[in-house]
Structure 1
Amino acid sequence: MLTVRNLHVYYGAIHALKGVSLQVEEGEIVTLIGANGAGKTTTLHTLSGLLKPREGEILFQGQNIAGMAAQKIVALGLSQVPEGRRVFANMTVLENLELGAFLRKDAAGIKEDMEKVFVRFPRLQERIKQLAGTLSGGEQQMLAMGRALMSRPKLLLLDEPSMGLAPLLVKEIFSIIKEINAAGTTILLIEQNAHMALSIAQKAYVMETGKIVLSGPANELAQSEEVQKAYLGG
């Protein structure tokens, strides 16, 4: 579904991504783990069109989307749930969800997807008229995920979904990620909580200073001494 080849991205003179290559197959959960500043968010921003690569290819279902406008990439079926949730604080829960579907014209499909979001996140339905800025961190994370799902993505990019959440909520968010995947959405997940990410992913990539330094089946990487030392506190 997604093939990234030799991606180079710069912030001015800073070489942020140095030849990143990775692959996501349809139906998979793939995780990208690494320390803060390794280049994980830069990778997602480049995939979703917020940053333009200086070099490299991003093939989404065979089409090169490198440097394409962000809204065109969403229309093709690739949506991002940004780090820090980024909900529209002065708009209601309902308005935030409607914005997720702003590129769509199929009223019946939008209504159906809205109902699916409320089945998956009942708390959002309870707070449908509430301003998004007044929700708790966990509820805002659910809203950010629901909003992305309203664009009916084929591939969902999740950036640090567990950040700042209580352990019980982290478990809930991860079980929802598994459900979303089981219902047919492919997922690329960036996560500081490497232990949780490796427990639900099929494949994993480890990133350090703008490069992929390790990759393989998630369960094998979870057992690797190098990964345990660096990311799992082992």
Structure 2
Amino acid sequence: MAMLEIRDLEVYYGVIQAIKGISFDVNEGEVIALIGANGAGKTTILHTITGLLSAKTGSITFEGQDITKIPGYKIVSMGMAHVPEGRRVFSELTVLQNLKMGAYTRKDKSEIENTLKSVYKRFPRLEERQNQVSGTLSGGEQQMLAMGRALMSHPKIILMDEPSMGLSPIFVNEIFDIIREVSESGTTVLLVEQNAKKALSIADRAYVLETGNIVLEGKASNLLNDDSIKKAYLGEV
């Protein structure tokens, strides 16, 4: 049984159908990439999985439990974290306050400090700036904060939406190194990313979306060498 199972999912914005009956799986320990052009439906899928949007039909199952109609805050407490597009840090709060917000659903209060230490170990820059107001951080530092905040919930799976958006090449490399580390530490990752080459380079498997449909799927290494993928998403002819 897969950790996360999406079956026949349909999502609408009013009368506009954004997701058209897709199905896919995410197995424990995998990095799964969703790639595709803007408007393909990638963010909509993540928002529906995490309860921010409602599915019209289909089902979402997490560790054997149907979560299709479960509110987002309950989904977080079940072990799912979401790093949203655009970071969405609490700009008027400090770095430390943002991180503590990530642990608000946890009941193991004595272990939160240990998680904080592990986040600081992974993101030394956050520890250096823990008392700094988050809105004054650079884009790359805010992305690290958004990822650290998600990790504070001690998730079994983390959903990341466009983590490299708007970042300098140096920060992009750093962020993808961290995603790889997160995966290697045992957290499953579902990654939405415009930088298809980077996403496929760290993913185990990938799904290619076009206008709400999955049009291609397979091992990430195979897709990285697929001529149609190279032409459409990797800037190669």
State the partner residue of 2:225. Answer: 223
Cα distance in 2 between the residues matched to 1:129 and 1:23: 40
**SS state of the match for residue 36, structure 1?**
coil
State the partner residue of 1:117. Answer: 119
Q: 1:64 aligns with which of 63, 66, 73?
A: 66
1:66-105 aligned within 5 A: 66-105=68-107
List alignment gaps of at least 5 residues for structure 2. none
Matched pairs, number: 234
Structure 1 runs of 4+ aligned residues shifted over 6 Å read none
State the partner residue of 1:44. Answer: 46
Given that 1:58 and 1:65 are in contact with CA atoms closer than 8 Å, whether structure 2 keeps it comes out as: yes
Alignment RMSD (CA, Å): 0.5
Q: 2:215 aligns with which of 213, 222, 226?
A: 213
Q: Give the TM-score of the pair, scaled to structure 1.
A: 0.99
Cα distance in 2 between the residues matched to 1:107 and 1:65: 26
State the partner residue of 1:137. Answer: 139
Quote the offset at 1:24 in angstroms.
Answer: 0.5
Alignment deviations for residues 100-157 of structure 1 (CA, whole Å, 9 cap, x no partner): 0001122221000000000000000000011110000000000000000000110100
AA of the residue aligned to 1:159: D
Aligned: 1:55 with 2:53: no
State the partner residue of 2:157. Answer: 155
State the partner residue of 2:196. Answer: 194
List alignment gaps of at least 5 residues for structure 1. none
**SS state of the match for residue 111, structure 2?**
helix
Given that 1:51 and 1:67 are in contact with CA atoms closer than 8 Å, whether structure 2 keeps it comes out as: no
State the partner residue of 2:5. Answer: 3
Quote the offset at 1:185 in angstroms.
Answer: 0.2
